[in-house]
């Protein structure tokens, strides 16, 4: 590749990045659809080969089956999980005065006695008033969405368009996914085709671990934690369990935060430290299932991103591109990691690195 070609490639890359940045406000439904299509493509490929004698399901019918399954799952999340979490948040706010009273009269005296620390009691009235004001202003998850939608006709139109476009785009991406991948590969110059194919396979392996495998692990852990905590009698089981599962993509963070939240909720609800034992058992079982069953089965042995890299990628993506940046953070970071591995491999195999290069 000549210097002029390199500069041309760099210029085109910068122009493409700038175009993506400018189009960020309208790209959200396409990004969500691409993520859903990527998650569903392996299942479509498997269903496509199923048949009886000479009859096969075919790509279109397989896409319809997977598409309907995705709609049912998303509908269940919207109709069951979100209202349930909202009711538990309301329950937590309603019980907050009792929790603060117990902390002031039971926990703080123990801290003063055994740790010799001067801890001031919480001003329950001021804290409750602040939380109530924000909660009333938000009006709950569903009310917030409805309120924001009803502010102007433009926002209503955008929401309706997104709700309509996401399933339509997802359907066509699922149906033509393999064709699009093949067409993109045909555009790659033949001298780089083998390298690009190798990098694409490695990127797909890493993306599978974080988008497909880790998504299923997060969902499974959220269900396990929620059911386990509900069996212990914890009132905020669904809220704490799903939050712990959702942040479990960072190793140990989900379990750590879940244990802290669940233990505090158990002590505040039951006023007895003995109830911490079943809570710890729930998270111990969840961690054992994750390490011995869920991660080996769903994620595999693919090398993932470092936890610090995961946190930085999500924060950077959110800062630069908002919610769409959060969705794209891990896929982009995974591809960058694969590229850095390739650069490291090329560098360590170069004459410059092996001391055969003379300055």
Q: What is the DSSP string of 275-326?
A: GHHHHHHHHHHHHHHIIIIIIIIIITT-----HHHHHHHHHHHHHHHHHHHH
Location of structure tokens 């054992």: 288
How far is 317 from 340, CA to CA, in rounded Å? 19
Tell me the mean pLDDT per 10 residues along the chain, length 359.
72 81 78 82 84 78 84 77 76 75 78 74 65 51 45 59 81 86 84 84 78 82 92 88 85 85 86 87 91 77 67 81 74 83 83 64
From residue 282, alpha-carbon distances to 84, 108, 227 in Å are 20, 28, 9
Interior angle at CA 303, CA 185 and CA 205, nearest 5: 25
Torsion angle of C-alpha atoms 298, 82, 161, 63, degrees rounded to 10: 30
pLDDT of residue 77: 73
The C-alpha atoms of residue 27 and residue 33 are separated, in whole angstroms, by 10
Determine whether 210 is exposed, middle or buried from the number of CB atoms within 10 Å of its CB (0-12, 13-18, 19+).
buried
Question: What is the token pair recorded at 141?
Answer: 């998850």
Listed by start position, the domains of the chain span 26-187, 209-297
Q: What is the pLDDT of residue 143?
A: 47
pLDDT number for residue 173: 87
The whole-number pLDDT of residue 339 equals 85
| Residue 124: exposure state from Cβ atoms within 10 A (0-12, 13-18, ≥19) | middle
pLDDT at 150: 46
Distance of CA 259 to CAs 200, 240, 263, 294, 342, Å? 38, 9, 6, 19, 39
Q: Is 107 exposed, middle or buried (0-12, 13-18, 19+ CB in 10 A)?
A: middle
Please, what sign has the CA dihedral across residues 104, 106, 107, 108? positive
Hey, what are 301's tokens?
Answer: 């042995």
19 vs 104: CA distance, rounded Å = 55
According to DSSP, the residues that pair with 52 across neighbouring strands are: 55
pLDDT at residue number 156: 59
Task: Output the six-digit token pair for 111.
Answer: 């801290």
For residue 52, give the DSSP letter. E
**What pLDDT score was predicted for residue 282?**
93
| pLDDT on residue 132 | 56
Give the pLDDT score at 300.
63
């Amino acid at each position: 590749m000549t210097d002029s070609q390199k500069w041309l490639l760099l210029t085109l890359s910068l122009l493409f990045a700038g175009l993506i940045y400018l189009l960020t406000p309208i790209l959200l439904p396409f990004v969500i659809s691409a993520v859903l299509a990527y998650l569903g493509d392996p299942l479509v490929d498997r269903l496509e080969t199923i048949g009886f004698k000479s009859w096969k399901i075919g790509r279109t019918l397989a896409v319809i089956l997977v598409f309907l399954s995705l709609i049912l799952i998303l509908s269940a999340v919207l109709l069951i999980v979100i209202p349930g979490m909202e009711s538990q948040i309301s329950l937590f706010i309603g019980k907050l005065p009792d929790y603060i009273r117990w902390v002031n009269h039971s926990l703080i005296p123990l801290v003063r006695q055994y740790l010799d620390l001067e801890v001031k009691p919480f001003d329950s009235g001021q804290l409750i008033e602040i939380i109530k004001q924000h909660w009333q202003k938000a009006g709950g998850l569903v009310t917030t969405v409805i309120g924001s939608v009803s502010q102007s006709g433009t926002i209503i139109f955008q929401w309706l368009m997104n709700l309509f476009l996401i399933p339509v785009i997802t359907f066509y991406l699922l149906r033509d996914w393999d064709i699009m991948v093949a067409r993109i590969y045909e555009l790659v110059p033949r001298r780089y085709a083998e390298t690009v194919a190798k990098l694409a396979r490695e990127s797909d392996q890493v993306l599978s671990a974080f988008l497909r495998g880790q998504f299923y692990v997060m969902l499974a852990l959220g269900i396990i934690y929620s059911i386990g905590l509900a069996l212990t009698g914890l009132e905020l089981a669904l809220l704490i369990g799903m939050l712990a599962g959702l942040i479990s993509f960072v190793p140990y963070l989900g379990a750590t935060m879940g244990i802290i939240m669940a233990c505090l909720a158990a002590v505040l609800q039951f006023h007895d430290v003995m109830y911490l034992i079943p809570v710890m058992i729930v998270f111990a079982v969840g961690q054992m299932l994750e390490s011995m069953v869920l991660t080996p089965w769903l994620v595999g042995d693919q090398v993932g991103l470092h936890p610090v890299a995961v946190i930085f990628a999500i924060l950077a993506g959110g800062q630069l591109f908002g919610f769409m940046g959060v969705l794209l953070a891990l896929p982009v970071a995974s591809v960058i990691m694969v590229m850095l591995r390739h650069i490291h491999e090329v560098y360590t195999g170069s004459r410059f690195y092996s001391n055969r290069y003379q300055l």
